[in-house]
Structure 1
Amino acid sequence: MSGSDYRTGREGEFTYRGYDLDELQDMSLEEVAELLPARMRRSILRGLTVEQEKLLEKARNTTAQESANSPIRTHLRDMPVLPSFVEKTFAVYNGSDFERVRIEPEMLGHYLGEFQLTRTSVEHGQAGIGATRSSKFVPLK
């Protein structure tokens, strides 16, 4: 997705492919799918899974205030971010625990899992007890 696909107007108004957020939220799922990238469009037009349908209904029936207090928990990292998700908070599973993700308008056209990383950086310390013979000797500098 290039930078020209979504932008903030002069007044700070968000637009996605020529439509503002209110227009996107009034559209049907099939109309929104036509604006999304090809992979997401294909998965929506072929039909969402049962779990994805449940998540979509839960998001539609939950207000932004309710989701801020108790986020919508999900394992569905492959769920596309849709206009009905904007301003709501999700707890996305990253493999070990659920992390909060607040959906912003700029996240449209991405997947939920893109905003919650599954891997962390590893910082190795010095060799300690139980290390091999050769690694115990750290050169002095």
Structure 2
Amino acid sequence: MPIKRLNILRQRDHWYAEWWGSVFLIAVGVYALLMPNSEILHRSLVDGFLTFFPVDIWELLFIGIGLFQFCMLFTESMWGRGIAAFFASSLLIWGFLNIFLFGQWHFSLVAWGVFSSINLYALSRILTGLEKCNEPL
């Protein structure tokens, strides 16, 4: 029984990675909304090339795209998951580059990079068709 569960988890590890990516986006947006003067996120969202939107818009974008990706995971729609992974990876790459170039190498840079690569990997699996069929173990 445990081996069967491990095989199921291994086949769906990308799904769980996308789930954690959506949770990260939602958590960042909610944390930024609840802690507006937080040194961890505030400078990351207002410095550099992210200044053309107010901070509240960025926070709502994070929450909205995170919720969209979260919902698309449960519909099992390849189009929906692909679009959600595209928007999530775009937003996270943009945030990663903003922190990298203007954020004085803030420690959250690693998390932004990891979750953007997770979403890019999910997007590549969907676009190449690997997501449609379960890969053999």
| TM-score, scaled relative to structure 2 | 0.27
Q: Please state which structure has a larger fraction of its residues in strand.
A: 1
| TM-score, scaled relative to structure 1 | 0.26
Q: Kindly indicate whether structure 1 or structure 2 has the higher relative contact order, using CA contacts under 8 Å at least 6 residues apart.
A: 2
Max radius of gyration: which structure?
A: 1
